[in-house]
């Protein structure tokens, strides 16, 4: 990054903070704070092991500090400490930590950063976010007021759980949470148990009361409806697409579904010899489609630094946006995370890496193509290109 580019971004980041109200997290004075300034050269320098008192003089002065220093990135700790500015981690006096989840578009299964566009990856990441939120609210019972949803400003999303009941969890307990959310080592056969029926005999029953058993049961109901709404030949063919289900087993299962659909709705899975095979196959589909591929080290690290909502991401210029649950579905990062301060004017940039620009300024409102050389662009487009290292600031 050339000096002119660095000075321009630093100046405009400072302008953003001067005109913005950057909120602080709960217990802000008990957390460690860190930031990365705009520095010369290719490397970055993290300034950390600071309390908010060290950084800004207190929560009320955070905005003044950000406007004055105009950092490239801003972070705070998920943890709360007795002495957050102590440079020795063991002597900080760890008290507790928020339960934090990170979804990174680059790490999602089925996403290829080499071929998928930035916008496409972010859309896949939002689908993963919705799966995560469903697990956290439905399976764990966290309310919307206990979750803070944040667009990271870069490649994904963060979710902070601030329920007091989870703040004291150690790394091992948090790893168990990760395993559940990702469906790791789910006992597929254990989803079925034998329970007494009203005749006093034992019958195979799906654990459908909650958790992954409930999700598999919902998938079984949808699968049953699809089979019964199809003609018999189609239904039998679909059943035989499942591993381990041949013509005879498919016929047995289909007959039971036809004769006792209400039993299946109650969780009764006495479907003959193919019951376990059917449940395992549907469980595999549920795990493939409904688990959230969260970044395990972020959740298990009880001392993690995480981006400050309301700050700017120095690699894109986007706002690290806090999102209410009701707006997540319609949220488009490359449009809705653009800072208002960067929308009004045009700037000159020297484009060094031409190609698609995934910022809301083109025919599809999320991408357009820019050619190399000196170009006049809307400022938020220029900030994105400069921050990504795809352009340098040109003389006006």
Residues facing residue 160 across a β-bridge: 100, 148
H or E stretch covering 100: strand 99-104
C-beta of residue 2 within 8 angstroms of C-beta of residue 290: no
Catalytic option among 104, 131, 301, 366: 104
User: Which two three-digit tokens encode residue 319?
Assistant: 């706002």
Minimal CA–CA distance to 139: which of 105, 108, 183? Answer: 183
SS3 content of the chain, % helix, strand, coil (to 5): 45, 20, 40
Catalytic option among 225, 284, 295, 336: 295
How many angstroms separate the CA atoms of 293 and 296, rounded?
9
Residue 66 phi, psi (nearest 5)? -65, -40
Residue 146 phi, psi (nearest 5)? -100, 0
C-beta of residue 334 within 8 angstroms of C-beta of residue 360: yes
Burial class from Cβ neighbours inside 10 Å (0-12, 13-18, 19+) for residue 133 reads buried
The per-type count for the chain, helices as H runs and strands as E runs, is 13, 17
Catalytic option among 30, 98, 102, 301: 102
- Per the annotation, the verdict on 102 as an active-site residue is yes
By DSSP bridging, strand 202-206 and strand 47-50 are unpaired
Q: Would you name the residues annotated as active-site residues?
A: 102, 104, 295
């Amino acid at each position: 990054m050339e000096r002119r580019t660095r000075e321009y971004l630093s100046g405009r980041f400072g302008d953003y903070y001067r005109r913005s109200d950057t909120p602080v997290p709960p217990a802000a004075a008990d957390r460690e704070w860190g930031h990365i300034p705009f520095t010369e050269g290719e490397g970055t320098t993290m300034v950390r092991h600071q309390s908010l008192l060290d950084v800004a003089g207190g929560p009320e002065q955070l905005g003044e500090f950000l406007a004055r220093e105009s950092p490239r990135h801003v972070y705070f700790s998920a943890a709360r400490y007795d002495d957050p500015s102590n440079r020795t981690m063991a002597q900080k006096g760890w008290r507790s930590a928020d339960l934090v989840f990170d979804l990174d578009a680059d790490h999602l299964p089925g996403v290829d950063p080499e071929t998928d566009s930035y916008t496409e990856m972010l859309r896949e990441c939002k689908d993963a976010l919705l799966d995560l939120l469903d697990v956290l609210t439905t399976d764990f019972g966290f309310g919307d007021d206990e979750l803070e949803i944040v667009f990271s400003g870069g490649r994904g999303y963060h979710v902070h759980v601030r329920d007091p009941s989870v703040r004291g969890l150690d790394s091992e307990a948090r790893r168990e949470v990760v395993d559940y959310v990702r469906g790791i080592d789910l006992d597929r056969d254990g989803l079925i148990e034998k329970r007494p029926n009203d005749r006093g005999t034992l019958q195979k029953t799906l654990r459908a009361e909650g958790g992954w058993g409930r999700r598999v049961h919902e998938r079984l109901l949808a699968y049953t409806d699809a089979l019964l709404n199809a003609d018999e030949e189609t239904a039998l063919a679909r059943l035989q697409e499942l591993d381990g289900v041949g013509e005879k087993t498919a016929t047995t299962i289909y007959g039971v579904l036809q004769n006792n659909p209400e039993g299946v709705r109650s969780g009764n899975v006495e479907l003959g010899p193919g019951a376990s095979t059917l449940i395992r196959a549907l469980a595999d589909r549920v795990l493939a489609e409904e688990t959230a591929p969260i970044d395990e080290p972020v959740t298990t690290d009880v001392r993690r630094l995480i981006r400050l909502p309301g700050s700017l991401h120095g690699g894109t210029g986007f706002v690290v946006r806090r999102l209410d649950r009701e707006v997540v579905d319609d949220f488009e990062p490359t449009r809705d995370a653009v800072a208002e301060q960067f929308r009004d004017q045009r700037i000159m940039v020297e484009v060094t890496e031409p190609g698609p620009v995934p910022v809301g300024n083109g025919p599809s409102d999320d991408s357009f193509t820019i050619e190399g050389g000196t170009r006049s662009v809307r400022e938020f487009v220029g900030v994105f290109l400069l921050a990504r290292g795809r352009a340098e600031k040109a003389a006006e």
